Structure 1
Amino acid sequence: MSSRRSYSSYSDGCAAAHALDLIGERWTLIVVRELFLGPKRFAELQRDVIGISPTVLSRRLRDLESRGIAIRSTLPAPANVDVYELTPWGLRLEAVNKALSMWAVASPTLPWDADMSPDTLVLSMRAHARGDATATPPVRVTLFLTDSRIEASAPVPYSATIAPQGTTIEKASRPGPAEAEVHATTAEWKACIIGGTALGALPGVRVDGTPRAVDVLIQATSLAGNPEALSSTLPVPTPPAV
């Protein structure tokens, strides 16, 4: 006699089904996504995941801890605050997030005009990132993104390094030397990186330093320049009529 599936589990031997048991609840993967670039406090997560209630966020974080995907720790003095971060196993979900993103760009109902958090936009850049044969020596750009969804939000700094073998983008509280700095809102930068709008058509974006360095960054991280992404945006076949 087969056992009855519980409400909280698919009770399915497929590993993909078990993955959904772990991260399939509403908001769970969104919370995970906001931790890929480093630890965050509860208040920072609630700020960045717009629409989630404190109760649901608390529940999702507890679940992630109990499942070994995230841990809670206390920063040393003088901070003395609790933060949440992903375990090494949890960090491996970035590859899952990338695969879902590259698959979903072909969706005819993708909300292209919806805004994104700074970290989410940078994760999109990482998903599209590739090397640039002209970046010898490597090109470094500092990116300051202001969340246009939140009034009076502070810029978040990131450091990008573009080289022939690949491109890396990391959150950087103290960015090092760079050939250029870009200051933009998330809405403006998304229009450039994902929407394909020319930088010159975005008057709110400020570039300090060498413009070529910024051009190299855009070429190496934009959706339009990624052959894999372009192939995935081909029209979705219409199902045959029944």
Structure 2
Amino acid sequence: MRRVHGDGSMFIRGLSALLLQSLHPPAMAAVAAHSGYRGDPWGRLQRTSAFLAENHLRPRRPRPGGLRAGPRRPRPVRGTTAEGRPYHAADPHLLCRVHIAEADSFLRAHQRYGARPLDDAGCDAYVADMAHIAAALGVPDPPTDRAEPAGRMAAYRGELRATGEARGAAGFLLLNPPVPLLARVPYGLIAANAVSLLPVRASRALWLPRVPPAESLCVRPLGTAVTRGIRWALTPPAPTS
């Protein structure tokens, strides 16, 4: 898990996971009503980064309280979707879908853009590592090997669709991102590659254009280049003697 989450592909995988997670209407309704991602996107990112740093990147040590302090477990928020369907942030069914989408997106992004893609055993170990975090957050019986997420995702297929809230979130993240003007070009490359990771069914539901020949000839090579740039920027300088 530390190898995958510490790689420069983190921005592509995170954005792709958010888009995929938005297709579960109760999860998207909860985010739209309670997360404040539009009003305070950088604060939201900082809290997520703290969660990753404290619980995903540091070496494992037994801790009486389970997850390390800093990240919040899902807040006990409740509400209803626009169609009147009730949701609860700690619903195990909802948490499981969010976790599976995250683990699947993170691993696929690393295998495509990571500096050191994992072998088959490493992919299984990554999913198993993620299961420890998921179980601590209340996910019942999370996947523990690479073969499981695809089957679990298929079981949710009948529940998934793009609501107006989901398409609005996609527009905010892809077309009107809260980044400086000078960062729009590299961010656009990250966004295009995040969309290219989505299943075709998901991108169609969100009304996101896809041109497969352009993805293989242009989008993915540029995504690899921008990921290398991020990796270089985040690499600490060698100590001087």
Give the TM-score taking structure 1 as reference length: 0.31
Which structure carries more relative contact order (alpha carbon 8 Å, separation 6+)?
2
Structure whose residues are more often helix by fraction: 2
